[in-house]
Amino acid sequence: MLDGLIISIDAMGGDDAPDVVIKGLEYFLKTTGKQRKARFLLHGDQAAINTLLAKAPLTKARSEIRHSDSSIEMDAKPSQALRRGKGSSMWNAIQSVKSGEAEIVVSAGNTGALMAMSMMILKRKQGVQRPALAASWPNEGGTSVVLDVGANVDADAGQLTEFAVLGEAFYRALYKTDRPRVSLLNVGTEDQKGNAVIKAAHERLSESQLGLNYIGYVEGSDISLGGAEVIVTDGFTGNIALKTAEGTAKLVGRYMKDALQGSWWSKFTAFLNMRALLALKKRIDPSGFNGAVFLGLNGVVIKSHGGTDAKGYANAVNIAIGLAESDFLQTIDVTLEALHDEDDNIGFIK
């Protein structure tokens, strides 16, 4: 039986599962996870997992397998997943957090199914209208958090305000920053810009006494330039922004590769600047920021990109452990309670 910090893993979730999941855990334990005491509860096909663990000794030594007869298809609709998913690797991984066997669940599986199952099993925190999906994002000065990036296609002013509270608590817990700057993503920074929902959320956050370091609007370019640490938007806009950034990073990487392999002189200068080029590659590599978090649930659920590699999966696991070692859930409870007390006092209409 495992003891210590337990991470529940949906070993069958993802485009290349369970292979990339086990490789990701092994990569984590060989690199950033060397000194971490986390252990893993692996949910999935026991025979397939055992075969992979034979080549992953570090992971094998820290893992226990819980066999699941089925898994959720990457293209399954959330409603289908809920009807057919009980007993699947994803369901069982989430249930382990509900039962207290594990602290956090990590899955690279179907996003809609993961959200639906998490809400059914773990339930929303009291007063939370909709959970949000928060993603870490590289910027000029470090890292930002953007939410929502896909859990909710639209959001009203009350929900955007909740996202701000959830995102601020998440940033403080994961990045150990006391007063991260919180902002609303908009088409401009002037007060008159934006639609009615954005303006209402801006008014609500500007007048709030929650102690958030709210700085107003930021534009899309500010996400990467470091205009704020926490950027709040609806899931439709956030998901498009996230996918655009990922595509741009890949395109820049391909341009670099083509340019450096174009001639003998290009190859020679690339050799001379190899250290700087490797540092640049690391900074723009999307796998280094893989691992979004569903915020607003009675438990922590980490969503890894379905098509990530071992390095990306390892990063999602690192985020999971960082949150498990923090007071993240307690911090959110306190701030949400203050938010809803404030709503009651001013008669705020969500």
DSSP β-bridge partners for residue 9: 42, 106
Map residue 262 onto helix, strand or coil.
coil
pLDDT at 230: 95
Q: For the whole model, what pTM was predicted?
A: 0.82
pLDDT at 254 over 90: no
Mean pLDDT value across residues 73-84: 89
pLDDT digits (tens, 9 = 90+) for 47-73: 999 999 999 999 999 999 999 999 999
**Measured in Å, how far apart are the chain's first and last C-alpha atoms?**
46
Mean pLDDT value across residues 334-349: 61
Residues 6+ apart with CB under 8 A from 142: 175, 226
pLDDT at 13 over 90: yes
pLDDT at 71: 92
CA 271/CA 69 separation, integer angstroms: 50
pLDDT digits (tens, 9 = 90+) for 186-238: 988 888 888 899 999 999 898 887 788 999 999 988 888 888 999 999 989 88
pLDDT at 163 over 80: yes
Q: Which residue has the higher pLDDT, 337 or 215?
A: 215
The amino acid at residue 83 is R
Mean pLDDT value across residues 314-338: 81
pLDDT at 19 over 90: yes
Q: In the chain, which residues fall in CATH 3.40.718.10?
A: 1-125+296-307, 129-293
Highest mean pLDDT among 99-103, 262-266, 333-337: 99-103
Mean pLDDT value across residues 289-300: 85
User: What CATH superfamily classification does 1-125+296-307 receive?
Assistant: Isopropylmalate Dehydrogenase (3.40.718.10)
CA 114/CA 81 separation, integer angstroms: 9
**86 token code pair:** 């009980």
CATH class of the region 129-293: alpha beta
CB–CB of 105/10 below 8 Å? yes
Of 95, 145, 196, the residue nearest 328 (C-alpha)? 145
